[in-house]
Structure 1
Amino acid sequence: MRIGSGTYARLSASEGIMDNPELPFDLEIFRRSAIDGISLSDSALMTAESAELYFISTMQAIEQEKAGRMAAEGEAFLKENASKEGVITTASGLQYKVERIGDGPRPTATDKVKVHYKGRLTDGTVFDSSYQRGEPLTFNLNQVIKGWTEGVQLMPVGSKFTFYVPYTLGYGERGAGNVIPPYATLIFTIELLDIER
């Protein structure tokens, strides 16, 4: 089945087909097919609706494959990381390493805390950092991802921990925006500066 040039233009504009490196697309093959398609009868061409459904199903298959790969990479990372010196794994699967232990009180899940942090993916990509912004973050501990709610409660004020957060305790199967992919295992270095009660 060939996609007509009008359909291609509509899909290209609405779905970003030309800019998507994940989509197996060869512009020259498409150009030749479009030219060949001009001489075909309407019944031999793919309708706009069929082309759109084909494109959507192709993109969904690509995203599912990427998600499966991300989940498997995260599981492998956590398995290897669990055997490293100083890394502790909780019952939920959260892993942490104490970088510095403070002597202040520990927060509860309903406390408001002030932290400095850096978040990164397992490949080292930094996706957020209060250090880079030059300003700590204050938030209610029960209004963040589960990995933070659980992990920060382990920290006395003045501590610095590194947390290794499985996707089930992070942003799950949806990810977060364009910076955290679905099924991503996350690494956070967190300094607990204060509890605001």
Structure 2
Amino acid sequence: MRTLGRIIGIGAVAVAALTLTACGSDDDKSSDSSAAQATFGKVPAKATGAECTADDIEVVGGFGTAPKITIPDTCAPPTKLVVKDLVAGSGPGAAAGDPLSMNYSLITWSDKQKLDSSFDRGKPFTLTLGSGQVIKGWDQGLVGVQQGARRLLIVPPSLGYGQGGNGIKPNETLVFVTDAVKIGK
């Protein structure tokens, strides 16, 4: 009985909050209306069921500069690897066995926070493509990248860290913006 009373009480508070928001004045100068809307009218959007695409991710900044990456709350994380060149490169595309020198920023989907960035360290990350030195999302997502390209990778857990590790939560979707500093020897 006590729990039911709390649920009803919480429901009454929610109804009152919605009523306050709906009753605000249309006058933009009304501080009461603004306060009610700031407190109650801005409910974070929940992911709808539709998966995000590369075009839903906002990336600000050009090749060679640390990107600002914004992940929306309005769609779900993709379940398959998403690859999109944001800045075109030139020369031959990278293939398995090629040495790469990459700059990157990593944002975790669940908390939309930067977890790692070679831009911040001031030193590109080196790897041999396809050799298993990195997560599968990189080994697959960087195939064909050209020197000078900025590429967005949205990596599902199955191609990332799966059950977690290296500071990443289990079942985390990873968003990378990568710059191909050098392809080949």
The TM-score with structure 1 as length reference comes to 0.53
The Cα of 1:85 is off from its aligned counterpart by 6.3
Q: Runs of 5+ in structure 1 lacking a partner?
A: 1-75, 87-91
Higher normalized helix content (fraction of residues): 1
Which runs of 4 or more aligned residues in structure 1 lie more than 3 Å from their structure 2 counterparts after TM superposition?
76-79, 83-86
Secondary structure in 1 matching 2:84: strand
**For 2:95, which of 84, 89, 108 is the aligned residue?**
108
Q: Distance in 1 between matches of 2:123 and 2:144?
A: 23
Pick which of 141-150 and 181-190 moved more: 141-150
The TM-score with structure 2 as length reference comes to 0.56
Secondary structure in 2 matching 1:184: coil
Deviations 1:51-88 (A, max 9, x none): xxxxxxxxxxxxxxxxxxxxxxxxx69943138469xx
2:119 equivalent in structure 1: 131
| Residue 144 (structure 2) pairs with residue 154 (structure 1) | yes
1:169 equivalent in structure 2: 159
Q: Runs of 5+ in structure 2 lacking a partner?
A: 1-46, 58-78
The Cα of 1:96 is off from its aligned counterpart by 2.1
Deviations 1:86-111 (A, max 9, x none): 9xxxxx92112221011121111211
Sequence identity percentage: 35
Amino acid at match of 2:137: G
Q: Over aligned residue pairs, what C-alpha RMSD do you find?
A: 2.5
Amino acid at match of 1:152: L
- Map 1:28-107; keep pairs closer than 5 Å: 79-82=50-53, 84=55, 93-107=80-94
- Structure having the higher Rg: 1
| Residue 170 (structure 2) pairs with residue 182 (structure 1) | yes
2:180 equivalent in structure 1: 192
